[in-house]
Structure 1
Amino acid sequence: MRPTRPGLLLAVGFLAAVLSWSGLRAWTSTGGTEPQLLWRSALTIALLAVAVFGLGWPVRQWVRGDRARRIDALRAARTAVLAKAASVAGALLVGVSAGFAVHYLPTLEIAARREQFLVALADLVVSALLLAAGLVVERYCRVPPEDDSQDGGVSAAT
């Protein structure tokens, strides 16, 4: 599995921001009501970030040489896939939250809109934490290349 490219994450985040902002603007301009952002969403995303990090920690310990507990190879692979998914989902959620925050920015003098802006900012921050947790855990899952030869890379078979 290849490491997640920053360009992909930037593209996903930017596209999500543009689409959420323009979609929300188009929806409200035709008389639709804005979806209510809840503080629970920030808590849920934060718990996901902690879970991703928590699942990656034992893999990190094993890769660094602490072999006291056995790590199943399938579990390590699943953790790497989860980390990649978390980074992409984090980028997507950062973009959506940024789109909502930009939508609410011009009307911050209204208390209800200001609260929705603050929820969008909280979602943005914890989504960035999810993105970061995914990238960090993906790095934890990298296994350094093995150097079987003792003589500077020359194989014993030659």
Structure 2
Amino acid sequence: MAGLLGWLANWLATRNGYGAPTLPLTSLVTTAVIIAITLVFGGRVLRWNNGSRDRPLDPILAARTLVLAQACAYAGAVSLGWHAGIFVDQLALLAVRSTTAPLWGSIALMVGGMVMIMVGLVVENFCRLPPDDDTGAMSRDEGEYA
């Protein structure tokens, strides 16, 4: 859906004399900060899940880490889709444009979106509770989220 909206927004903007509606490349810095924060919080949960339990894991921190990871993946998917739609429309305009800056900017932001999706999904997996050894009812794949 985001790809279709991105394509439509770019189509309308470029046909009416406006620039491509992409994020500036400086938004990759913000993307990197979000990825780093998600990895730091995810690392804390992962260490606890792997047995480093010198202190109890704050359940609010674990829940917020899970929500942050999911939000990171969703935001990455929207960014990837939006800029992929713009990329597709920019390819059609490549023959009549003198610059390829919107094309390369879209590629860079698509890669940033893909990295956000991957990090979000990995950290979300970190937030799975370990299997309960006492009952043996759940396997690792069926584990609940922290």
Amino acid at match of 1:74: I
Name the SS for the 1:145 alignment partner.
coil
Instruction: Specify the alignment match of 1:97 in structure 2.
Output: 83
Instruction: Specify the alignment match of 2:18 in structure 1.
Output: 33
Instruction: Specify the alignment match of 2:67 in structure 1.
Output: 81
Gapped regions of structure 1 (runs ≥ 5) = 1-14, 154-158
Of all paired residues, the percent bearing the same amino acid is 36
Q: Aligned partners of 1:115, 1:28: CA distance in 2, in Å?
A: 14
Q: Aligned partners of 2:3, 2:29: CA distance in 1, in Å?
A: 21
Gapped regions of structure 2 (runs ≥ 5) = 138-146
Q: 1:66 aligns with which of 52, 57, 60?
A: 52
TM-score using structure 2 length: 0.82
Aligned length: 135
TM-score using structure 1 length: 0.76
Structure 1 residues 144 and 117, CA, compared in 2 at 3 Å: closer, same or farther? same
Q: Which has the higher helix share?
A: 1
Contact 1:21-1:100 within 8 A present in 2 as well: yes
Higher Rg: 1
CA RMSD of aligned residues (A): 2.0
Q: Aligned partners of 1:44, 1:116: CA distance in 2, in Å?
A: 19
Q: Aligned partners of 1:37, 1:72: CA distance in 2, in Å?
A: 36
